[in-house]
Amino acid sequence: MTSPEIKQATDRMFYEVGQFPQMLLDTVETGFRFKPKGAEASGILLLGMGGSGIASDIAHDISLADSRIPVKVWKYPDLPAWAGPGVIAAVSSYSGNTRETLAQYRQAMGRGCQIVVFTQGGVLGEEAVRNKQATFAYVGGVQPRSALPAGLAGYALLLDSINGTDYAGDIRRTVPDLQRLSRRYAKSDGLAHRIAESIGGRTPVIYCSSDISGTGVRWKGQVCENAKTTAGVGIISGRTELPEWSRRGMSRKCVPVFLYEEGAPKAVRDCFDACIKDVRARGADAKVVMLKGGTVLQRTLYGTLLGDYVSLFLAKARGVDPMNVPTITELKRLQSAALDP
């Protein structure tokens, strides 16, 4: 039987995920802009860890086909050697106190990068104000992982202002459908619940194509954090990861989940068709999740929202608290201690 405390936490997380579409819309309506100084930038460096880092992954995915300059995600405390005055460093930390991100920010300052900060406040926010840097304010009052829509939409506005794209418009056009789908996904007889039921107590291995790899990482992270269980992610570019499904007992412990993009190029869909057929021929109980949308951004939004709900239904089935993340809290403590001089 689920305790009242776990039910309350579960209800709260369902509410936060339900805010996904509105958070996207509220963020793009801020009209946030960033105007680079001097000559055209040579690249965009997306800096951040954890949930902020996943927003960076997704922003990178949507920019691949459109960005006039390279966009690179960087999740290490030390910046690459090429980070310098010609690079725009987008530094993201929901709390503003992530040690690794603060180290990245200070290095970017020392390298002369043009900096834009994404944060709710904390030390990062204070330093950005003191240094008179462009700052995007995250919405407060939610779990950091629930702020991903705001982070992603903020990155979309940043990319629009630099590249002249219209990701904000794409988001506006997609939000009404997302709102409708969110209501359906939240139901106990909806698609998200059915997917969670089909996974059951097994470990999901999420397969996706490289253009939505951030969505696959998000599914994995949400399953781990919300449902308190393990998950895997694989990028489909061939069949190199698939033969392992023929091992005896593999399908009793794990389940492959394919994020199938209906609007992807035919070559991508053909590759997925072949992989799904191969896995099923080897006796695996392959699950296929169809993602609609004519653009990478749309497919990413549909897939991310669905995955968030699936993770909550898995948490509910397992009777665990989706809000509390003691393992991550302890890991952050240990990492902070390791980073102390």
Q: For residue 236, what pLDDT band results from cuts at 50, 70 and 90?
A: confident
- Among 4-8, 143-147, 279-283, 300-304, whose mean pLDDT is lowest? 279-283
Rounded to an integer, the average pLDDT of 264-283 is 90
Residue 239, pLDDT score:
52
Residue 141, pLDDT score:
82
pTM of the predicted protein model: 0.92
Best CA proximity match to 119, nearest among 109, 129, 131:
129
User: Do residues 92 and 52 make contact, with C-beta atoms less than 8 angstroms apart?
Assistant: yes
In the chain, % of residues over pLDDT 70: 92
Rounded to an integer, the average pLDDT of 99-125 is 95
Q: What is the mean pLDDT of the chain?
A: 90
Residue 35, pLDDT score:
86
In one-letter notation, the amino acid at residue 145 is: R
Sort 145 into a burial class: Cβ within 10 Å, 0-12 / 13-18 / 19+: buried
In one-letter notation, the amino acid at residue 198 is: S
159: left (phi over 0), alpha (psi -120 to 50) or beta: alpha
Beta partners for residue 205, in sequence order: 232, 256
User: Do residues 56 and 155 make contact, with C-beta atoms less than 8 angstroms apart?
Assistant: yes
* Cα–Cα distance, 291 to 304 (Å, whole number): 10
Residue with tokens 């007992």: 249
Q: For residue 62, what pLDDT band results from cuts at 50, 70 and 90?
A: very high
Residue 140, pLDDT score:
77
Residue 89 has pLDDT above 70, yes or no: yes
